[in-house]
Amino acid sequence: MSSESRSVDLEDPENIISVVISGPEDGPIHQDDIGQNSPIVVWGLSHPGWQRESYSGRAPTERPFFQPVSLDPRQARLLISLAHRRTSETKTVIDPFCGTGGIAIEAALQDIETLSSDLDSRMVEGTLENLASG
């Protein structure tokens, strides 16, 4: 601990600490693998401007080809993160239901190749149009 006094700017913070506590209020439904009955605590440190800036201008409604089924860029990025490790030798993501190309766009921004398809040929054409505009 430090004996120095430091100020905290709650109006415009430099960093934000988020804490999520998960578990039933009245106690656990079942024990975890090591027999503990404690809640799960997850925390993280984020910079306030990080997400807002990185996704600006990439809303599905701003693409040349838009349909109501379009995936939000944050959700597409999450799906890629869940399916692909940065340390993986394979740099390809398969999207069998590409829709308007949200996953393909986010993958391309990360230099990840995407194999995309859709049963509706209009969606495939729209995906190609969206990829070409970015």
Interval 86-121: pLDDT, tens: 777 778 999 999 999 999 999 999 899 999 999 999
Pairing, β 92-95 against β 113-116:
parallel
What is 63-133's CATH superfamily? Vaccinia Virus protein VP39 (3.40.50.150)
Q: Is the overall model pTM greater than 0.75, yes or no?
A: no
Q: Tell me the three state secondary structure of residue 44.
A: strand
In the block, residue with structure tokens 């506590």? 21
Domain residue limits, the chain: 63-133
